[in-house]
Structure 1
């Protein structure tokens, strides 16, 4: 195996473990993919991250084929379709964190209750309608929810975050879960104020020049 590919595989494993460490996933839920040359590298199906190594990461071609002795994540379709349709993106993470998933279970989008929503590309985070996991239908619904965005919720399921790197995708996933947690608490306090599309548009423009952490104004 080439050094570059092994390094890429190691970064996929590290990202999967980071999701567990940050509380975004538990057990064998969630998955990670990274664009690598003419294919993607994706976490395998049903393997706990503690037991996962670089050799377990599955090379998946964009036609959906992979080594016959390996099983990619059951959610490989939306990973493949997101990276195929969004050339500006290099990595996708999918997780079932508590607060994001709670809103997904209610089929609720996240409105502009905090200016950091601009980091996701617009004034809301959409929630894709429900479809069974691993299906082409779910992939199509996820792509629609991600139009003009880099994160979305999946009804009765979880969340997706995609970025120009694995580091950025993970950062976005953490930011989304944080925002959902804040929104959940705010709903208990009262009626959260919603920022206007114009206000969020201004923040989107201000964020364009910032680095990974989108420094807060």
Structure 2
């Protein structure tokens, strides 16, 4: 069984995403790119997270050809576009998070009401134009809107985050959902103050060295 480590990581983080209320049912998907083998491990379509086995995890090449496992997630193209074009990215997570998706339903970006938004590499989390799930258009919209950042809302759909590893991509997903929750709560009692973009860019630079001392 190839990419055994990646398969197990996908199951671990799929269950974590479910238990942390960052998705529901079989919604959402996770992938990991193995650069050495030039293969992608991705969660399969339609199987509940708590029933996943390592053998179920789909293994595909960068052209989307199935190598092993069950049929891959319908959002495969949204994952592959990042691995083909951003060499620093090794994991992609797509979630149907409650608060981030609520903001995505407004088709507006999530602003910087908390400095931790800097983890996304941008001064806001942009929102990609709507496209039907599983389409190339959705993947293209997500990729173009995210730019060099690491998070993007998907209009009337959900959120996608990327990272150099699965831990990073998951942390960004979790932090963005927390900030989205704060934004909705603060809007209910007043008008939240948006941090200056220069402060956020300063935080982005500081985070690059965080934990290295």
- TM norm. shorter chain > 0.5: yes
Structure 1 residue 81, shift from structure 2 partner: 0.6
Residues in 2 aligned to 1:49 and 1:120: alpha-carbon distance in whole angstroms: 26
Corresponding residue number in structure 2 for 1:20: 18
Corresponding residue number in structure 2 for 1:141: 141
Deviations 1:150-188 (A, max 9, x none): 011000000001111111111111001000000000111
3-state SS, counterpart of residue 63 of structure 2: coil
Corresponding residue number in structure 1 for 2:208: 208
Structure 1 residue 68, shift from structure 2 partner: 8.2
- Aligned residue pairs total 210
Deviations 1:85-107 (A, max 9, x none): 11101101111111011001111
Distance of aligned partners of 1:140 and 1:205 in 2 relative to their CA distance in 1, 3 Å threshold: same
3-state SS, counterpart of residue 156 of structure 1: coil
Corresponding residue number in structure 2 for 1:31: 29
Corresponding residue number in structure 2 for 1:63: 63
3-state SS, counterpart of residue 198 of structure 1: helix
Confirm whether residue 44 of structure 1 aligns to residue 44 of structure 2: yes
Contiguous gaps of at least 5 residues in structure 2: none
Q: TM-score, normalised by structure 2?
A: 0.95
After superposing on structure 2, the runs of 4+ consecutive aligned residues of structure 1 that deviate more than 6 Å are none
Corresponding residue number in structure 2 for 1:101: 101
Deviations 1:76-133 (A, max 9, x none): 0010111211110110111111101100111110111111111110111000000001
Residues in 1 aligned to 2:62 and 2:123: alpha-carbon distance in whole angstroms: 31
Contiguous gaps of at least 5 residues in structure 1: 213-217
Contact 2:82–2:143 under 8 Å retained in 1: yes
Corresponding residue number in structure 2 for 1:198: 198
